[in-house]
Amino acid sequence: MVALAYLEAYQATGNEWYATVAQETLDFAIEEMRDRSGAFISAIDADTEGEEGGYYLWSFEELERTLNESELVVAKGVWGVSSKGNMPDEVTGEPSGRNVLYRPRPLSDVAEELEMDDSELSERMEHLRSRLLSLRNERTHPMKDDKVLTDWNGLMIAACARASSVLGSDRYLSIAEEAVEALLSHVYDGGHLLHRYRGSTAGIRGKLEDYAYLSWGLFELYEASFNTKHLELSRELVDYAIDHFFDEGNGGFYLTDEHDETPLVRQKEIYDGALPSGNSVMTYLLSLFAALDERSGYGARASDQIRAFSRHIERSPTAFTFFLCGIDLHHGPIAEVRLVGDDVSSFISALRGAYVPHAVVTVKSSRSNEVSIERLVPSMADIKPTDQTPRAYVCIDTTCQE
């Protein structure tokens, strides 16, 4: 969610700092939290040899032994390291003498202070990071929880797919694709999802968040790759959730499906915390699919969601931040951008270079699986590639303009 937030902030502002934070966040997860199959594991232990966060902390003496005088000046400016430490003692709150390498201010400010060009400072900083990373890798590594969870992988797939679009990175697209393949081979049998696997053992019936988050990840992956199979499976997961989790009497999705034998009473989770609730993400997805197929009934389901929880949202809107995103998307207007032709790369580049939060892009070419895309987006049946000229149609509600 952090990476997604920074990617959207970068799109909205053009501030390269936001792109850097998103990229470094994803790169850490990719380097430290992928298993051999390509999926993402659950967690890295905070403690190392009895010290919380110790793996990532540096004493000033360590830095002095490792860096020369000019390098230490850069480290002080960029990361704010000092002999007192920038990490307070967790019990007393007093200076601990330990430093965490983070950037408390813009690199351009540090470059001006050190009388360097931004590019020179960036190059020197990356050199220092590489050296310190090599040294850190010699330490005792923290333990890892190597379970693979379907819901959390769905979020990582969404973040990597969005990064591939926003940052123009084929690497992130490949990583998202690999995570999908690894996940589906373990937790999906063509019908329902399982919640987790470790090694070759999978189990626990999928909860609402598993369907919602993975469907979102697949939708983002379609928008990054325009491979129709991702859009198709994203919709299948939404349909399964409607059939097996939705409360037809009162609205809203239950946390568990009707086959789950664990709870005495089926509950609904609606509040957004560090992660959005399954109901919030489903509202968002229903609004997206309603834009692609207005005759599908998804829009009515989204309205049911909003009515079911409106009283709670009005009372405490800050507890429903992602649900509010779904409401905003539902009320729109959503711009459905239909690209037609064998080479629409120029249109895609233009769209990805702009911040258009309420746009859904679909692609149809003579080489694409037209039956599949027309089934998912029925209005595409009315558009035929007639020549070699790529075309773009922007549709809002029922009005389209080329």
pLDDT at 287: 95
Interatomic CA distance for residues 153 and 186, integer angstroms = 12
pLDDT at 323: 96
pLDDT at 277: 96
Q: Residues 246-250: what's their mean pLDDT?
A: 92
Strands of the 391-396 sheet, one edge to the other: 359-364, 335-340, 391-396, 399-401
Are 289 and 300 within 8 A, CB to CB?
no
CB count in 10 Å sphere of residue 197 = 21
Q: Is the pLDDT of residue 181 over 90?
A: yes
Band the pLDDT of 368: cuts 50, 70, 90.
Answer: low
Q: Is the pLDDT of residue 25 over 80?
A: yes
DSSP 205: E
The domains of the chain are located at: 46-142, 148-332, 333-402
Q: Is the pLDDT of residue 370 over 60?
A: no
Interatomic CA distance for residues 164 and 124, integer angstroms = 27
Beta bridge partners of 246: 253
Q: Residues 21-39: what's their mean pLDDT?
A: 94
CATH architecture classification, 148-332: Alpha/alpha barrel (1.50)
pLDDT at 77: 93
Q: Is the pLDDT of residue 175 over 90?
A: yes
Contacts by residues 9-16 (CB-CB < 8 Å, ≥ 24 positions apart): 10/166, 11/166, 11/354, 11/355, 12/355
Of all residues in the chain, what percent carry a pLDDT higher than 90? Answer: 65
Q: Is the pLDDT of residue 52 over 60?
A: yes
pLDDT, one tens digit per residue, over 315-349 is 999 999 999 999 999 998 888 888 887 788 888 88
Which SS3 state, helix, strand or coil, does residue 363 take? strand
Q: Is the pLDDT of residue 221 over 70?
A: yes
Are 84 and 97 within 8 A, CB to CB?
yes
Q: Is the pLDDT of residue 388 over 80?
A: no
pLDDT at 386: 65
Are 357 and 348 within 8 A, CB to CB?
no
The model's pTM: 0.91
Beta bridge partners of 87: 98
Interatomic CA distance for residues 251 and 304, integer angstroms = 6
Q: Where are the alpha helices (DSSP H) in 137-227?
A: 150-167, 170-187, 208-225
Cis geometry, peptide bond prior to residue 333 (ω within 30 degrees of 0): yes
Which SS3 state, helix, strand or coil, does residue 364 take? strand
Residue 134 Ramachandran class (φ > 0 left, ψ -120 to 50 alpha, else beta): alpha
Are 248 and 296 within 8 A, CB to CB?
no
Q: Is the pLDDT of residue 271 over 90?
A: yes
pLDDT at 371: 53
Q: Residues 239-261: what's their mean pLDDT?
A: 91
Contacts by residues 6-9 (CB-CB < 8 Å, ≥ 24 positions apart): 7/159, 7/162, 7/163, 7/166, 7/167, 8/355, 8/357
